[in-house]
Chain A
Amino acid sequence: MYAQMVKTGVDHIQSKEEMSPEERAFQDRVDADIKIEPKEWMPEAYRKTLIRQISQHAHSEIIGMQPEGNWITRAPTLERKAILLAKVQDEAGHGLYLYCAAETLGVSRDELLEQLNSGKAKYSSIFNYPTLTWADIGAIGWLVDGAAIMNQVPLQRCSYGPYSRAMVRICKEESFHQRQGYDIMMKLAKGTPEQKAMAQDALNRWWWPSLMMFGPSDAESVHSAQSMRWKIKINSNDELRQKFVDQTVPQAEYLGLTVPDPDLKWNAERGHYDFGAVNWDEFYQVVAGNGPCNRQRLRTRVKAYEEGRWVREAADAYAAKKAARAQVKAA
């Protein structure tokens, strides 16, 4: 998802007998759906895993501004431009909600930004694909935000209070994102043959990377099992991917577009769509830094940070001057 393949640092799931009294009390609270709040006792592995997961999620929101930001200056109408600006600004907001949730676990904002800017931190594979046409903006809102919603809605119930509250805020804003994307797709699908072809081309390019967003199957993963026990992961990757396919295929049909998967077929027995195999080699390549835009995304991010330095320094100088003046007045 926005946080794909988060490691927990554990090698097996502890039984209640193996746990220390503190660990057992903690797990009992999680089992009883009592939220864990900052400064309360928590296992070190829970804290570290959450920092990893929340910061990956935050970095994804921040990097995720780039593919869409690419089209702000070229949006087809002033209205579309205003909408896209608002959407991209929301994503910045999501990043900020999540960074502040991560900070409650004892990591500093600077450390998190350093991890992002140095290329050490991971963010979702999906944002390493290019936005070649205006239809890609439609496809991102519809598919990418759609996939994100699928993951974020259950996370509103996660065990860590600040993360859960950030998710509630984010989910409230996401549905606008998905609807504006689908709205773009509807317009193009009902447009000229060229416009419809553009929409189809965007679907062709974004479909499989969107399915990859959920991450490889984690049915056997001890990390996922542990995260689910801690209730910082609610559904398995395969479960969410299936849900996404089931929900999205009818929406593609409504647009009169074809999902680029020859194996896609309704399975009446299962009550779900069957779909073809995801190319996980491509996914691992993108995660390893070899996607079409990895280098560009990081370069843009670092450049924005460097070029913003004088603004931060000016704000600092102004704050220091005002504080000094206030001191003189008080004296």
Chain B
Amino acid sequence: MTDKKEWPLWEVFIRSQHGLAHRHVGSLHAPDAEMAIMNARDVYTRRNEGVSIWVVKASEIAASSPSEKGPLFDPANSKVYRHPTFYEIPEELGHM
């Protein structure tokens, strides 16, 4: 009863009004990029949620593997000196 060939899946990224970076909002199916943008407008920006849309084929996204989360992010764990709170600055200096 359904079509044989499914339209590719596109991941949708929207830049909101506030000048922020594009942010992932969800996905949708469309035959090509042009239609994906039109559909994204209807599905994800019905209330002025965006001023710019990016779409990218889900199959084109490379992702880190959840099972390697440990080894991938471990190196940052030990580097506490990357945070400002690592350093004690005399209070009389005021804000730094």
Q: Which residues of A contact B (CB under 8 A)?
A: 37, 39-41, 86, 89-90, 93, 96-97, 100, 103, 108-110, 113-114, 117-118, 165-166, 169, 173, 302, 305, 309, 312, 315-316, 318-319, 322-323
Contact = CB atoms under 8 A, between A and B. Distances in A.
Nearest to A322: B32
Interface of B: 1-3, 5-7, 9, 25-32, 35, 42-43, 46-47, 63, 65-67
Contact of A117 (B2, B27, B66): B2
B46 A309 contact: no
A315 B27 contact: no
A173 B26 CA distance: 16
A302 B32 contact: no
Per DSSP, chain A at the interface is: helix
B43 A323 contact: no
Contacts of B28: 96, 100
Contact of A100 (B1, B5, B26, B46): B26
B31 A316 contact: yes
A39 B62 CA distance: 13
Nearest to A101: B26
A73 B63 CA distance: 47
A51 to B, nearest CB: 16
B43 A93 contact: yes
B11 to A, nearest CB: 9
A312 B66 contact: no
B3 A312 contact: yes
18 contacts: A37-B66, A39-B65, A41-B66, A93-B46, A100-B27, A100-B28, A109-B29, A110-B2, A117-B1, A118-B1, A169-B25, A302-B1, A305-B1, A305-B2, A312-B3, A315-B31, A315-B32, A319-B31
A30 B85 CA distance: 31
A109 B8 CA distance: 10
Contacts of B25: 169
